[in-house]
Structure 1
Amino acid sequence: MLSIGEFSKICEVSTKTLRYYDEIGLITPDQINPENGYRYYSIKQLKKMLFINRLKSYHFSLDEIKAILELDKNQSEDHLYSALHSKRREIQSKLNAFEYTLNQMSADILAMEKGLSVLSYIDELEVKLVETQPLNILCMRQMLTSDDHAAGYGKYFSRLYEIIAREKLTLLGTPMTIYHRAEYNPAGNDTEFAISIKETVKGTRDLSGGLCAMSVLKGSYSQLTSVYAKLREWVEVEGYELVNSPYEIYVTDPNHATDPEEIITEVYFPVKKK
């Protein structure tokens, strides 16, 4: 048997952390002396602790690790295999985002060396006045916080694609999001997920066409706020006003883009002349 101190030293985990892991049921001492409360771990528990450390190094949460440990051996192997693949995709996505950020920083540094503003890229965004056609959209509308949006895109678009496949509907366009909000609200925003289809069925509605100020973003969704700022400025300067909710059309599926620069998003502001 190993004392908590010995176990802590071998596994490089503090005794405070080990006590916390015991509290949450992640790994409990094999024995506790009833007289003095001393905690002892078995040699076999070293591998379990090393496994926990390994998963932590892969950025699994304690809840995720606990769920894996609680499965029986057969389920655990399959679940772990799937979880590792999922976590690898998640980390790769973050790496791509960091690489994109580094490239942006390099561009900003280069701009400053040339005497330009770090926001000079906004001036390069092009705004067009376009006439859009009416669309028949299959849609779902939800109140989502900013934290929910990333998961929401996959969740609700997946549901729409499931309906399209099940009902054998005719797909006419790529996914789009319509924002029914007067202002940003961190507690929740009225968001409509939609896909253009041919048939009129339950869950569809008309999205009216008309005059729109439109701009295209080539890059990470984190830059969409810049596009919105550019469009809002253009609308004001050119003497137009918003007449309906702005919307985004995702020309590129982010799941199929290996580089954030490959992601193309169109942003539309329905407008009319003042």
Structure 2
Amino acid sequence: MGKNQLYGIGKVEEICNLSKKAIRFYDKMGILSPDKVSDKNGYRYYSKKTLLSVPMIKYYKQSGFKLEEMKALLEGTTYSIFEKSFRNKIDELKELENEISLKIKSIKDWYDLIVEAQTVIENDIKEVSVKYVENCKMIYLDQDFNYDYMDSIINIEFTNYIESINNAITGPVMIHFPSFEDKMNGKCNKMKIMQQTILKCKESETVKFGGFMVASCYHVGSHETISETYKKIKDWAKKNGYKYEDKSYERYVTDYWTTKNIDEFVTEVMVKINKGKK
């Protein structure tokens, strides 16, 4: 490119790998103005010096700057303008990064549950097993329970509570029932809904879960028949010399959130156990 040579918009498109539409728009925004506009036909002409702004524009665009934010940067008047603009952009992008990370975690956790449910169904995993549950803290809300599972799992009151404390939840909904026997026999009227939070919250808003061994069994199908899985765990505990605590946990792997086919609901029932002692 010659130092004093001027280039028409077609040549600029070729040299800078920019569309004519983008070049015109940049002119309109005041960040890539032509050096000359023909009085006769309105054609735009650009010098080499002006075109050297294009790599800078592309870099600022890559860095997340809006076109209207680039104007002051391209003028390059003082370091203070750069320092303030860059600092503000870093803060803005960090906030965006946090939002994206939250969304990725939410979707990945849900994806993992779908894969888990598919594995359970495809391999017909319905036997009782013993496993260790990692210790964690979960946000919770104590509520009444009347065996309306859909209302309890897709829980409007709980959702409103999460919003009121400016938090976000992820992973499976879990419900803690105070009595294994009452839940099995259709007599339970209290529950504690629990779920993992993504953001930090107050200690008083959380409850500890895990750090112990459980008897675990997947229940596939309607929640209305989940007492069958409770009885299976009870019989297994008696047969294998385990004592179970008088409370239970239901972990809803897939449910109304994911499918309308109740035959493919997958719920993990868990009860804390001890070998040979109550």
**TM bucket normalised to smaller:** 0.3 to 0.5
**TM-score, normalisation: structure 1:** 0.48
**TM-score, normalisation: structure 2:** 0.47
Larger Rg: 2
